[in-house]
Amino acid sequence: MSGSAPSNVENRDGFKSKWGFILACIGSAVGMANIWRFPAMVSKYGGMTFLLPYFLFVVLIGMSGVMEEFSLGRWGGAGPVGSFGRAVEDRGGKRGIGEIIGAIPVIGSMGLAIGYSVVMGWIFKYTKMAITGELFGLGQEMSAIGGAFGSVAPETETLGEGVSMMVQNGIFGVGNGVWIIIAIVVSVVIMALGVSGGIEKACKVMIPLLFGLFLVMAVYIATLPGAMDGYKFIFSLDPKGLLNWEVWIFAFGQAFFSLSVAGNGSVIYGSYLGKDVEISSSARNVAVFDTLAALVAMFVIIPAMATTGQEVSGGGPGLMFVSLPFVFNGMGGFGWVIGAFFFIAVLFAGTTSIINLYETPVAFLQEKLKLNRLVSTIVIHVIGLVVALLIQPWTSQWMDMVSIYICPFGAALAGVMFFWVMKKQTALDAVNEGAKKPIGKGFYPFGKFVYVPLCIVALIAGAALGGIG
């Protein structure tokens, strides 16, 4: 039983090319953490002082957690529910127990997708505002820029207050309902076309364009007065800073969450991977290009802020939708173009991430309820839309709840399934399938005794510090 994938997934859709898979995985990993958090962390903790530990953790997590999740999904031939169930079965246990546990990462993926739906609504609206010149027309009047975002993203302290606000004012009376619907429709259209016909093709277009747009922006910003101060800061190194435990814990968190190890998206994409594809090279490519995406975003944002004599004092939506429009609007006429390029690139990053997040629950309906692709896609997105519209004023807290608690827990569960529940030889066979040479001897013990505990560290540290990635 353990030697072959379950019959119900033998004819599943999948990626048609190795680079289609890699670009889709890069798309899932390249998200808001790369754009609105990574430059802020580099700024806060001192350029190379932060980057060196970050690079180290990218290598360690990429060559353990990312490989493990790809391998688990491909071996299981399913998402986390089916793959966890098969792992428990491989050990001689009841499949149903593993499937119940596998539902946790599915819930995490759905929860994060709902929060992302709200964020994507903001991004779609700001992309339109940037292209039409409406955003540039706000000038550098901070009250106008901040007020524009405030009208799009109202805030409440509790979920109950947020839902009450939306119900009392009507879904379209407050917030950003129309653009959330547009974001959901775009996701539905891409995903309804299937893995190869929709997700793979979309990522093959969007990811290269994303990198191209960021490179163009980086080159232009490099020519502006003051940009050099940003580069000097990026390449600065404070040896004493490397003794600061905060640098290491937040560098770890940035790498951990940026690589999207959560027991869901990487597992489901791995399940669509051909048996002849080498897992190690795929994981390496994903880690490299995800890091490059973060770096090019950094080389745009930090030097851009430096042109106005500012540091990136804070990350999150405030950086993307308030601070950066202020900076772009101060670049003269070409600032309009830079602002448009920036939000188009962010739109591509967000779209490739959200389709990955929705893919796990969509595949779950296909696998367990035997619904066809279109019905599964519509059902999941309708649920996501309704909840997203209602939680708009509580989006930040919603995202924190899911990312701090459920995502690292899902990563830990996937790691436990692969390194602790599955038989050692089964796990090694799974990761070595399609490989030109067997994986090094250090992979399995590192994953079992270092990576899995690190997932627990991410959960505990995130809960204690209010999030680390």
Beta-carbon contacts of 255 under 8 Å, excluding residues fewer than 6 positions away, are 54, 57, 58, 61, 469
DSSP string, 82-100: HHHHHHHHHTTS-HHHHHH
CA 293 – CA 252 distance, rounded (Å): 17
Sign of CA dihedral 92, 94, 100, 106: positive
CA 437 – CA 220 distance, rounded (Å): 44
At 1 the pLDDT is 37
Domains and CATH numbers, the chain: 19-465 (1.10.4160)
At 174 the pLDDT is 87
Determine the longest span between alpha carbons in the chain, in angstroms: 67
CA 161 – CA 168 distance, rounded (Å): 10
Residue 107, both tokens:
């819930």
CA 259 – CA 190 distance, rounded (Å): 23
CA 346 – CA 181 distance, rounded (Å): 18
Residue 435, both tokens:
């490989």
**AA letter at 293:** A
- Per DSSP, helices labelled H in 133-244 are 142-152, 159-169, 177-192, 201-222, 227-234
CA 114 – CA 403 distance, rounded (Å): 12
Residue 178, both tokens:
């129309």
At 11 the pLDDT is 59
Local confidence pLDDT in tens for the 469 residues of the chain: 344 444 344 457 788 888 888 888 888 888 888 888 899 899 889 889 999 999 999 999 999 999 999 999 999 999 999 999 999 999 999 999 999 999 999 999 999 999 999 999 999 999 999 999 999 999 989 899 999 999 999 999 999 999 999 999 887 888 899 999 999 999 999 999 999 899 999 999 999 999 999 999 999 999 999 999 999 999 999 999 999 999 999 999 999 999 989 988 899 999 998 888 899 999 999 999 999 999 999 999 999 999 887 777 677 888 899 999 999 998 887 889 999 999 999 999 999 999 999 999 999 999 999 999 999 999 999 999 999 999 999 999 999 999 999 999 999 999 999 999 999 999 999 999 988 889 989 999 999 999 999 999 999 999 999 888 7
CA 354 vs. chain centroid, Å, equals 8
